[in-house]
Amino acid sequence: MHYLGGIITLIMACSVVSADIYRSVDAQGNEVFSERTHSSAEKAERHPSSYRYRVRLKRVIDGDTLELESGEKIRLIGLNTPEVESRFTQQQAGGRQAKQWLNTTLRSPVLFIEYDQQLYDKYGRRLAHCFLDNGDYINARLLETGHAMLTLIPPNLRYAERLIVAQNQAESKEIGIWSMPAYQSKTLADFTSGVSYRGWQRWQLTVKSISRGKQNTTLLVTDKVSIQIANRHLPLFDGLDRFVGQQLEVRGWISRRDEQHIIRLVHPSAIILL
C-alpha cells in the first residue's frame, strides 16, 4: 500500500454530503459501482480518506496535476485540462491558460486534499479533491472558469453534481475552452475530413441503433463510428434506448482502429441530448 510521503495532518473528520455508492458484481465477474441500489448490491464502504488532509505544494505540473513537497503527484478528480507542451505531449489550446490560472490561484503552498473511492490512477498519481484554506474547491473552480472539461470516472463521484453545475456555468457564459475554436462541436463530416482530432472533443451524432454484447453496449452511429459503454457502467446510464434516432452531443476522446472510430464513455454526463 502506498502512503503519502512526509507528515500529513488530519484536519477535519467531517461527514461528506454525497450520494451513496453501491457495489455489485456483473455476470462477467466485473465490479460495478453505481449510485442506484438493487437486490444484489451492497453499499461501498467509505474509505477513511473522506477526511481532508493538510499538505504543501511544491509545483503545478499542468492544469490538473500537482506535485507536493513530499514528491507525491496529485491528479485532480472529475476533470481534464488541455495538455501543456512537454517531452511527451504537444501543447493543446487552453493548456497554458489552465496551468497559469492554477499557479496564480495556488499562491499559498498550503492545500487541503480529500480522497475518494479510488486512490490512484494508472500512472500512480494520487486522485484527490483539492481545497484552499478558505474552503474554495479547486476542482470546481477550474470548471467554473472554463479552464477544464468535466471528466467523471466511477467510482470517484463524491462531488459529481457540484462539478456538473460548475461546468454548466462556464458553458452557458461561453468562457475559456467554450469560446475556443478547437473545442467547438464537430459533426460526422469531420470524421472523414482527414484531420486527426486528438484530445477531448465534442461530437454531434445521431444514434441509429444499439447493440448489446457480453462486455460492452454499443450505440451505432454509422458502420465506422460508434459510442461504446462498458456494461459494468450501465447502471449509471438511464434508458439508453431513448437516444435512438436522437441527435446527441457526445464528449470525450476518440480511439481509432483502422477505419473504426470509437468514443468510449463511462458516465452519462458525457452525453447531451440536443
Q: Tell me: the pLDDT tens digits for 106-125?
A: 999 999 999 999 999 999 99
User: Average pLDDT of the chain?
Assistant: 86
Mean pLDDT of 69-73: 95
Is residue 159 pLDDT above 80, yes or no?
A: yes
What's the whole-model pTM score?
0.81
Mean pLDDT check: name the lowest of 45-49, 181-185, 193-197, 211-215. 45-49
Cα radius of gyration (the chain): 19
Is residue 217 pLDDT above 60, yes or no?
A: yes
> What contacts 50, CB < 8 A, 6 or more positions away?
15, 16, 114, 115, 116, 158
Residue 209: predicted pLDDT: 97
Is residue 50 pLDDT above 60, yes or no?
A: no
Residue 37: predicted pLDDT: 67
Q: Quote the strand ranges of 103-208, DSSP E.
A: 110-114, 126-131, 149-150, 201-206
Is residue 192 pLDDT above 80, yes or no?
A: no
The whole-angstrom separation of Cα 201 and Cα 250 is 8
Mean pLDDT of 155-161: 97
Q: How confident is the model at residue 165 (pLDDT cuts 50, 70, 90)?
A: very high
Mean pLDDT check: name the lowest of 35-49, 68-82, 110-124. 35-49
Share of the chain above pLDDT 90, in %: 71
**273 to 35, 188, 224: CA distances (angstroms):** 21, 16, 22
Mean pLDDT of 129-133: 96
Mean pLDDT of 192-212: 86
Residue 30: predicted pLDDT: 52
**118 to 75, 87, 200: CA distances (angstroms):** 12, 28, 23
Question: Residue 199 in contact with residue 98, Cβ under 8 Å?
Answer: no
Residue 189: predicted pLDDT: 83
Which residue did the predictor score with more confidence, 135 or 41?
Answer: 135
Q: Tell me: the pLDDT tens digits for 232-266?
A: 999 999 899 999 999 999 999 998 888 889 999 99
Is residue 133 pLDDT above 50, yes or no?
A: yes
- For strands 260-265 and 254-257, give the pairing: antiparallel
Q: Which residue is it, cell 472510430?
A: 261
Residue 40: predicted pLDDT: 67
**181 to 87, 166, 170: CA distances (angstroms):** 25, 21, 16
Residue 258: predicted pLDDT: 81
Residue 91: predicted pLDDT: 86
Please name each of the domains of the chain with its CATH number. Answer: 9-176 (2.40.50.90), 185-273 (2.40.50.140)
Which residue did the predictor score with more confidence, 3 or 235?
Answer: 235
Residues involved in catalysis: 75, 83, 125
Residue 196: predicted pLDDT: 66
